[in-house]
């Protein structure tokens, strides 16, 4: 077995072979699923805690504040302290709430983000499941979270929760179109929906460069629409504090609230990771065709660093506009989608199809 | 046709104004010097308050232990919640005239709302605000203060 941080495929193949050698294939698959589940769970917790801290720091600096700075050096243990506190908080039972749906809702939100995480290519060979309809699967799974939000709003037996959930529903129904269309633009360029092939096709030039203008438009629309889909500011009217207390999670306390909170940050990570994979070459280093020396230097940086770096940059972009723009009204939100994004997007897909037909891309 | 131009103009102006906003917050993000937060208990020794900060009412005395308060009582009348009590006394001047002076200028910090009417209306600018803000004490009688220092006199030339 040879282990390399540049290519994990031999490492994962070695785990697979050694498991299959000592037990029946069914049990081997079950154990592999368990390993992947545990790894993703740990990654999930680390990313969630880190992103909460990062967001608080970023927003503080943008608002001329300091942010968390008391717990640990630079406040890095602040989110851990918050998590421990949330674990000890009482789960307040809600009178006349739908008990089953109320406790089910946070798990649906978590499961939706969990399933999306499984299909993301983190590095070469570090890819839990490589579906041939990867893009389609990610779209389908990432929009499942809204079911949890709607359930939470409905089961809480609270006006604010219900209004927040309904707003979230209207938002997802509209913005899912834009997310889908902007991904279709790139699928047209790539000619495949399989994420590993999409990444492979971007070895010499990421799609945002190869597809130039239509890819750029698709990227802007994707990043805005997926921010709306994850219920983040400036599209966070599902939890608009000033009008709806906390929207769909008003009645949730303790660890159930933490699940919603964590899922929001993980969804942000997933959205940024999809954008990275589809527009910015996933784990591919920045290579230019013909520049051998430059490519060698770039290839020295391990692929998962590239992936996490690009994802981090996009997460920063999402945070940047969250902490800059004021929250939209519901009519402004729908106007933006149906009058601007959707027509622009449809024309953009046509332009991209034309460019691919005429070969006007790199 | 006009509405089509309006549509694209709207998109252009919208994106432009959004980018202006992002450049402002992005500028704050990369310039750490713009941070306004004061880490108060840590920087207690170096903390400088603003000149117009209303800490508590004081009566400035000069180096000869003289103040400007004539004991007219305008501050007491103007105070909306009875924070100030002026206890006056009489003094016989060299010409044999009787003159009103202050015995005690009592200030109840616990009742003060820091509205500043006393400082604003004082005809001889005898009162001022200090920048002191750490007022917490364990005994509330300590909040009643006498503003004129013992043995102080009225400044020459202030009527």
- Residues A14 and A76: their CA atoms lie apart, in Å, by 37
Is A316 within 8 Å of chain B by CB? no
Say how many domains are in chain A.
1
Residue A115 Cα distances to A140, A276, B127, angstroms? 10, 18, 70
A94-115: pLDDT as tens digits: 788 788 888 888 888 888 888 8
- Residues A61 and A79: their CA atoms lie apart, in Å, by 17
Nearest CA in chain A to B32: A61
Is A340 within 8 Å of chain B by CB? yes
**Domain range list for chain B:** 2-34, 56-154
Q: Are A281 and A129 in contact (CB under 8 A)?
A: no
pLDDT of residue B138: 92
H/E element holding A145? helix A145-155
Q: Examine the pLDDT at A2 and tell me if it is beyond 70.
A: no
Q: Examine the pLDDT at B22 and tell me if it is beyond 70.
A: yes
Across chain A, what does the average pLDDT equal? 84
* Residue A237 belongs to a domain: yes
Contacts of B17 in chain A (CB under 8 A): none
Does the domain at residues B56-154 carry the CATH identifier 3.30.70.3270? yes
* Residue A59 belongs to a domain: no
Across chain B, what does the average pLDDT equal? 86
Q: ipTM higher than 0.85?
A: no
Band of pLDDT at residue A1, cut at 50, 70 and 90: low
A152-194: pLDDT as tens digits: 888 888 888 888 888 888 888 888 888 888 888 888 888 888 8
In terms of residues, how long is chain A? 362
B110-145: pLDDT as tens digits: 888 989 898 999 888 888 898 888 888 898 888 888
Task: List the structure tokens of B64.
Answer: 């000869």
Residue (of B63, B59, B70, B62) closest to B154 by Cα position: B70
Average of per-residue pLDDT across A24-49: 86
CB nearest to A340's CB, from B11, B18, B35: B11
Is B21 within 8 Å of chain A by CB? yes
Mutation pick from B12, B29, B32, B36 vs chain A, by most beta carbons of A within 10 Å, is B29
Residue A64 to residue B28, Cβ atoms within 8 A: yes
H/E element holding A244? helix A241-244
More confident residue, A207 or A62: A62
Is B33 within 8 Å of chain A by CB? no
Task: List the structure tokens of A211.
Answer: 């597809």
For the entire predicted model, the pTM comes to 0.81
* Residue A74 belongs to a domain: no
- Residues B5 and A260: their CA atoms lie apart, in Å, by 43
Report DSSP letters for B82-111, one per residue.
Answer: --EEEEEEEEE-TTS-EEEEEEEEEEEGGG
Q: Measured in whole angstroms, how far is the alpha carbon of residue A23 from the centre of its chain?
A: 36
Contacts of B18 in chain A (CB under 8 A): 321, 324-325
CB nearest to A62's CB, from B11, B28, B39: B28
Q: Which is it for strands B128-130 and B56-58: parallel, antiparallel or unpaired?
A: antiparallel
* Residue A72 belongs to a domain: no
Average of per-residue pLDDT across B65-89: 87
Mutation pick from A56, A61, A321, A327 vs chain B, by most beta carbons of B within 10 Å, is A61
Containing domain of residue A261, as a range?
94-358
């Amino acid at each position: 077995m040879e282990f390399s941080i540049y290519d994990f495929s031999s490492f994962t193949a070695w785990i697979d072979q050694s498991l299959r050698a000592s037990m029946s294939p069914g049990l081997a698959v079950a154990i592999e699923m368990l390993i992947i589940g545990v790894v993703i769970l740990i990654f999930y917790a680390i990313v969630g805690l880190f992103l909460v801290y990062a967001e608080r720091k970023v927003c503080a600096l943008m608002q001329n504040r300091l942010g968390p700075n008391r717990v640990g050096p630079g406040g890095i243990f602040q989110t851990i302290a918050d998590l421990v506190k949330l674990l000890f908080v009482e789960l307040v039972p809600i009178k006349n709430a739908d008990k089953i749906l109320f406790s089910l809702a946070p798990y649906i939100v978590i499961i939706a983000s969990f399933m999306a995480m499984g299909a993301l290519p983190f590095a070469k060979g570090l890819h839990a499941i490589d579906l041939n309809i990867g893009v389609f699967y990610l779209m389908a799974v990432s929009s499942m979270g809204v079911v949890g939000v709607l359930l939470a709003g409905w089961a809480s037996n609270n006006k604010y929760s219900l209004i927040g959930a309904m707003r979230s529903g209207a938002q997802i129904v509209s913005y899912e179109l834009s997310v889908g269309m902007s991904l279709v633009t790139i699928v047209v360029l790539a000619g495949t929906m399989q994420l590993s092939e999409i990444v492979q096709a971007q070895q010499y030039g990421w799609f945002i460069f190869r597809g130039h203008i239509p890819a750029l438009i698709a990227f802007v629309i994707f990043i805005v629409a997926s921010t709306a889909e994850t219920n983040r500011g400036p599209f966070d009217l599902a939890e608009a504090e000033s009008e709806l207390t906390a929207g769909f999670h008003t009645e949730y306390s303790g660890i159930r609230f933490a699940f919603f909170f964590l899922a929001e940050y993980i969804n942000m990570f997933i959205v940024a990771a999809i954008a990275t994979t589809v527009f910015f070459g996933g784990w591919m280093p920045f290579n230019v065709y013909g520049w051998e020396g430059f490519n060698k230097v770039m290839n020295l940086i391990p692929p998962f660093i590239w992936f996490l770096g690009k994802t981090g940059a996009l997460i920063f972009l999402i945070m940047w506009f969250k902490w800059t723009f004021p929250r939209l009204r519901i009519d402004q939100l729908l106007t933006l989608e149906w009058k601007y994004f959707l027509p622009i997007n449809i024309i953009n897909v046509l332009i991209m199809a034309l460019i691919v037909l005429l070969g006007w891309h790199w | 046709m006009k509405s089509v131009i309006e549509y694209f103009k709207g998109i252009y102006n919208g994106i432009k104004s959004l980018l202006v906003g992002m450049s402002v917050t992005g500028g704050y993000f990369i310039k750490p010097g713009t941070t306004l937060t004061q880490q108060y208990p840590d920087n207690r020794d170096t903390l400088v308050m603003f000149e117009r900060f209303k800490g508590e009412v004081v009566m400035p005395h000069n180096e000869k232990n003289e103040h400007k308060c004539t004991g007219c009582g305008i501050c007491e009348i103007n105070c909306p919640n009875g924070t100030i009590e002026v206890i006056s006394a009489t003094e016989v001047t060299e010409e044999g005239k009787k003159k009103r002076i202050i015995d005690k200028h009592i200030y109840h910090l616990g009742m003060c709302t820091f509205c500043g009417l006393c400082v604003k209306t004082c005809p001889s600018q005898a009162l001022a605000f200090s920048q002191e803000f750490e007022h917490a004490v364990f005994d509330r009688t300590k909040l009643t203060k006498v503003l004129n220092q013992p043995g102080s006199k009225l400044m020459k030339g202030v009527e």
